[in-house]
Amino acid sequence: MVTDYYLPSLGGVQTAVKAAKESLESLGHEVTIFCPRFEPSTDDSVVALPASPIFKPDGYPFTWPYAHTYELMKAEFMRRQIDVVHVHSEMFAALAGLQAARDLSIPSVQTMHGRVDVYSASVLPLPSVSTALLARMHGARIPHTLAPSTDTRYNRGRVARRMWRLMINQANFADHVVVPSAHFAQKLVDQGVSRPVSIISNGLEDSALRRVGNSQPRVLSPDEPLRIMWCGRVSPEKRPDIFLTALSQMTSNFVANLYGEGVAFAPTKRLVHRLGLDDRVTMHGPVPQEDVLAAMQTHHVFVSSSYDFDNQPMVLLEAMASLLPAVVSDPDLLEMFPDGTATAAFGPDAAGLAAALDSLCADPIQVEQMSKALLNASEAVSQNTHVRALLDVYEGLL
């Protein structure tokens, strides 16, 4: 497996790759992770790729130089007798992995985890310039011969179309494409992805499920504050500002905790103070997965405030396994939830999110009902449930 993002950094891709690795290994398969690291790996199943000492987008290691990365992966693929290369990102580790696989006639799979167009516009400095440079460097390795096929709301603008072009050409460079959600898979096909596409949900590894195995349904008493949890990359595309603005507009009693770090951490913390939420909102910064799972046990509801960005957030799978109901700003995300376990905000703006949260406080039995409806969700969120479909993809290429 090749990824530009892996442990010890935190994020959904890292969690998904870790879960897939653990599940495949439990079935007797040998899995090697290739990822950029600032320090050498002490684990033989993790190969450290070179990382730039200067460029660290959103704090993550950035694979560089490309030529060294490519040669290292090509040599390791041969030495380890790799059967299938499964790529989980779109940056230079991923490019080198796909190119090395093709040059060695090893079948390749590309999982499209998220909207690189939105992420790039939100996180990269001077996106109109930096995405042009990134696209040129990317196109030098994988030709950007195919342009996005439709002019839709989500690919309007030069930056968006540039990054959609990157995504669809990389997907078509692989032999098979995996997408965790139907809504993102449809966008990719609409834009020109022509390789076989399989919709295979992400899942949680057994070690994570064991930590939440004794979760109890949530009960919101009429006289207690609604305890709200937000967790993710504190970055513009996740819209923490919309979340905080919604809290400031709520008429009900609440307390909220935010977990995570990112480029918008400092301005988000200032916004807490500017909105007068210091006594009801706590920002915890980066925390390990086990602390996130523990925190989920102490809240009534989880909020996802992103809109038209996320594919299938791993943290929402963790919430489901923890019997923690969710309110999502993006109705597309409801496809991942069993019926009656989550609700969409009343609109994509702060007012719509505030109204949805206030409605839970006005009718607190909803919290208990949604939480109890998650009691049978553990199988659906387990990686072991979905690993057979992943193995079918691999075996179909061999």
Task: Give yes or no: residues 272 and 370 share one domain.
Answer: yes
Per the CB < 8 A criterion, the answer to whether 25 and 383 are in contact is no
Task: Give yes or no: residues 211 and 233 share one domain.
Answer: yes
Task: Give yes or no: residues 299 and 388 share one domain.
Answer: no
Asked if pLDDT for residue 58 goes beyond 80, the answer is no
The answer to whether residue 7 sits within a structural domain is no
Per the CB < 8 A criterion, the answer to whether 153 and 128 are in contact is no
Task: Give yes or no: residues 155 and 211 share one domain.
Answer: no
Q: What is the pLDDT of residue 102?
A: 98
Task: Give yes or no: residues 240 and 148 share one domain.
Answer: no
Task: Give yes or no: residues 265 and 146 share one domain.
Answer: no
Segment 336-354, tens digit of pLDDT = 999 999 999 999 999 999 9
Which pTM value belongs to this model?
A: 0.93
Selected residue with higher pLDDT from 80 and 40: 80
Instruction: Determine the average pLDDT of the residues in 177-195.
Output: 97
Q: How confident is the model at residue 153 (pLDDT cuts 50, 70, 90)?
A: confident
Instruction: Determine the average pLDDT of the residues in 57-65.
Output: 83
Asked if pLDDT for residue 213 goes beyond 70, the answer is yes
Find the helix or strand (DSSP H, E) in which 35 lies.
strand 33-36
Separation of alpha carbons 366 and 362, rounded Å: 9
The answer to whether residue 178 sits within a structural domain is yes
Task: Give yes or no: residues 321 and 362 share one domain.
Answer: yes
Task: Give yes or no: residues 316 and 392 share one domain.
Answer: no
Q: What is the pLDDT of residue 12?
A: 83
Task: Give yes or no: residues 146 and 166 share one domain.
Answer: yes
Quote the tokens at residue 179: 């997408």
Asked if pLDDT for residue 9 goes beyond 80, the answer is no
Instruction: Report the CATH number that the domain containing residue 374 is assigned in CATH.
Output: 3.40.50.2000
Task: Give yes or no: residues 390 and 252 share one domain.
Answer: no
Residue with tokens 């342009």: 147
| % of the chain residues with pLDDT over 90 | 85
Tell me, rounded to whole angstroms, the distance of Cα 349 from its chain centroid. Answer: 22
Q: What is the pLDDT of residue 123?
A: 86
Asked if pLDDT for residue 149 goes beyond 70, the answer is yes
Find the helix or strand (DSSP H, E) in which 266 lies.
helix 265-274
> What contacts 145, CB < 8 A, 6 or more positions away?
169
The answer to whether residue 81 sits within a structural domain is yes
Separation of alpha carbons 179 and 201, rounded Å: 8
Asked if pLDDT for residue 172 goes beyond 80, the answer is yes
> Helix (H, G, I), strand (E, B), or coil: what is residue 49?
strand
Of the given ranges (98-107, 236-245, 282-291), which has the lowest mean pLDDT? Answer: 282-291
Task: Give yes or no: residues 195 and 253 share one domain.
Answer: no
Q: What is the pLDDT of residue 296?
A: 98
Segment 14-49, tens digit of pLDDT = 889 999 999 999 999 999 999 998 788 889 999 999
Q: What is the pLDDT of residue 377?
A: 87
Task: Give yes or no: residues 267 and 358 share one domain.
Answer: yes
> Helix (H, G, I), strand (E, B), or coil: what is residue 257?
strand
The answer to whether residue 244 sits within a structural domain is yes
Instruction: Determine the average pLDDT of the residues in 217-225.
Output: 95
Q: What is the pLDDT of residue 309?
A: 95
- How many domains does the chain divide into? 2
The answer to whether residue 6 sits within a structural domain is no
Domain that holds residue 182: 12-203+383-397
Instruction: Determine the average pLDDT of the residues in 53-77.
Output: 90
Q: What is the pLDDT of residue 357?
A: 98
Strands 108-111 and 326-328 turn out to be: unpaired
The answer to whether residue 3 sits within a structural domain is no
The answer to whether residue 64 sits within a structural domain is yes
The answer to whether residue 5 sits within a structural domain is no
Q: What is the pLDDT of residue 365?
A: 97
Asked if pLDDT for residue 84 goes beyond 90, the answer is yes
Q: How confident is the model at residue 60 (pLDDT cuts 50, 70, 90)?
A: confident
Instruction: Determine the average pLDDT of the residues in 185-197.
Output: 97
In degrees, rounded to 5, the angle at the alpha carbon of residue 162 between the alpha carbons of residues 106 and 115 is 70
Residue with tokens 């990719």: 188
